[in-house]
Amino acid sequence: MSIARVRMGLVVAVALGLIYGVAPAAAQLPNTPGATPPPPTPNMPTSEAATKLKGIAAPPFAAAPDKLPLAQLKLPKGFKIEVYANGIPDARSLRIGDKGTLFVGNRVQDKVYAVVDRNGKREVKVIASGLDRPNGLAFKDGTLYIAEGTKISKLEKIEDNLDNPPKPVVIYSDFPNHQAHGWKFMALGPDNKLYVNVGAPCNICIPPDANSQIRRLNLDGTGAEPYIRGNRNSVGFDWNPTTKELYFTDNGRDWMSEELPNDELNRVTKMGQNFGYPYCHQGNILDPQYGWGRSCSDFVPPVALLGPHAAALGMRFYTGSMFPAKYHDAIFIARHGSWNKTNKIGGDIYVVYLNKDGTVKSQESFMTGFIRDNNYIGRPVDVQPMKDGSLLVSDDYEGAVYRITYGNGKVASQ
């Protein structure tokens, strides 16, 4: 990162005042009107090393294409990476439309983007702006669904109207309004319902009943109900293509320890399951504040531990065939990377291999290199398989989307 960009970041930080310096869990959040600010962090240690740790604000502008860290990213043999799209500040969740349009959401910016591919020539358009943390995206039958901080809206026939997009129509707005973990991940389930994360409004607290759940609702906004509970903040989930079971990442609490607890990969085998927050973390650690008198055996343990503070976010089952057989039906996970840890971890695309019965066989890093000398040069947020079997990766630090291919599939095609 150039000095110029660091300086620019500082200027913006100063200009925005406290907004960028609130509690660490929410360090990058815009000041959403009416949103409950993050509560104080209990037991935040006063040790000097701890006070150096805080949320890492991304540069406010997207990096120029020739500054993207492509050369530093490392992939297994036979894989290639290229820039799919750039100039998308705060590029977060990814979805593909029926006609091949890539949609990209925001978390600290206010826009939803469309990336249109015409014979390999790609164009980036803003299709909605002025939104409140539009992090979650889902697509069904020509309609793009957008999950903001406190509502879900839709853009019908969006792929036919990319140059003249309609105004989003709100279909659901019964969400609590809070800054910490207020942005949403959203996905369309095999039951044609929208699934959306409602995170805990804090690092660690007894969440209100409306929080700490993955909620589902019909495409028209009706029938909302909690699907599972006891998640802290899931920013990625997908369904096992074989069993149709939901798997979701969940980010572990902060300020407990440099090495604990781990982020979780969870598997839902039954609606209504509780995954432990705020009482039990990673399936075997009772919380120092709220765990007393509880037992981890009262909750569903994770199927995999994804690293302490790793910020395991977007995940998808890989259903393509371009990648070698070992990756088929494996889970790709974007680990955004830690802030609450002196030596950063994560900052990679991670892969979790499953057994036939849906349990976890093994896990490893797939693409690394986003952390360099304990600093980020990019931060992956979401992954999205393409129809040709290539894999897209969003990077909110550089404002770009990359495409990973295997073998000769050099040109993106739809």
Contact in structure between 299 and 229 (CB atoms under 8 Å): no
If binding is defined by CB under 8 A, does position 53 make contact with another protein?
A: yes
Would you say 46 or 222 has its CB closer to another protein? Answer: 46
Q: What's the closest the beta carbon of residue 80 comes to another protein, in angstroms? A: 36
365 forms bridges with which residues in the sheet?
350
Is 71 one of the binding residues for another protein (CB under 8 A)? no
Residue 301: is the preceding peptide bond cis (ω within 30°)?
A: no
Nearest by Cα to 2 from 57, 63, 55: 63
Hey, what amino acid is at 371? I
**What's the closest the beta carbon of residue 45 comes to another protein, in angstroms?**
5
Query: With binding defined as CB under 8 A, does residue 49 bind another protein?
Result: yes
Nearer to another protein, 45 or 120 (CB): 45
Q: Are 406 and 75 spatial neighbours (Cβ–Cβ below 8 Å)?
A: no
C-alpha R_g of the chain: 20
20 interacts with another protein by CB under 8 A: yes
Q: Is 142 in the site for another protein (CB under 8 A)?
A: no
Q: How many CB atoms lie within 10 A of CB 393?
A: 26
For 77, residues 6+ apart whose C-beta sits below 8 A from its C-beta are none
Residue 397 makes contact with another protein by CB under 8 A:
no
Q: What's the closest the beta carbon of residue 229 comes to another protein, in angstroms? A: 20
Residue 313: CB partners within 8 Å, gap ≥ 6? 185, 235, 236, 249, 251, 333, 334, 335, 336, 380, 381, 382
SS3 label, residue 297: helix
**What H or E segment, with its residue span, contains residue 266?**
strand 262-268
Q: Which of 39, 100, 189, 358 binds another protein (CB under 8 A)?
A: 39
Stretch that binds another protein, among 121-129, 240-248, 258-266, 359-367 (CB under 8 A): 258-266
343 binds another protein (CB under 8 A): yes
Strand partners, 333: 315, 350
CB of 163 to another protein, least distance (A): 39
Q: Candidates 16-24, 59-67, 76-84, 402-410: pick the segment binding another protein (CB under 8 A).
A: 16-24
- Please name every residue paired with 248 in a beta bridge, in sequence order, or none if there are none: 237, 266
Least separation, in Å, of the C-beta of 53 and another protein? Answer: 7
> Which one among 1, 5, 37, 409 touches another protein, defined by CB under 8 A?
37
Of 4, 33, 47, 71, the one binding another protein (CB under 8 A) is 47
CB nearer to another protein: give 36 or 414. Answer: 36
Query: Can you give the three-state secondary structure of 140-197, one letter per residue?
Result: ECCEEEEECCCCEEEECCHHHCCCCCCCCEEEECCCCCECCCCCCCEEECCCCCEEEE
Site string for another protein, 287-326 (x = CB under 8 A): xxxxxxxx-x------------------------------
The structure tokens listed for 384 are: 């999205």
- The answer to whether 208 contacts another protein (rule: CB under 8 A) is no
Nearer to another protein, 43 or 72 (CB): 43
Assess 17 for contact with another protein (CB under 8 A): yes
CA atoms of 314 and 378, how far apart (whole Å): 15
Using CB under 8 A as the binding rule, whether residue 38 contacts another protein is answered as yes
Q: 245 or 259, CB closer to another protein?
A: 259
- Residue 190 is a binding residue for another protein (CB under 8 A): no
In the list 3, 4, 33, 46, the residue contacting another protein (rule: CB under 8 A) is 46
DSSP state of 70: G
Strand partners, 367: 349
3-state secondary structure of 245: coil
Beta bridge mates, 280: 286
CB of 46 to another protein, least distance (A): 6
CB of 5 to another protein, least distance (A): 15
Size of the residue set binding another protein (CB under 8 A): 50
176 lines the binding site for another protein (CB under 8 A): no
Q: Would you say 13 or 224 has its CB closer to another protein?
A: 13
Q: How far is the CB of 24 from another protein (least distance, A)?
A: 6
d(CA 184, CA 78) in angstroms, rounded, equals 35
**E runs forming strands in 344-399:** 348-354, 360-367, 371-372, 375-376, 380-385, 391-395
Nearest approach in angstroms of CB 376 to another protein is 16
Where does this chain bind another protein (CB under 8 A)?
10, 13-14, 17-18, 20-24, 36-54, 57, 255-260, 284-294, 296, 342-343
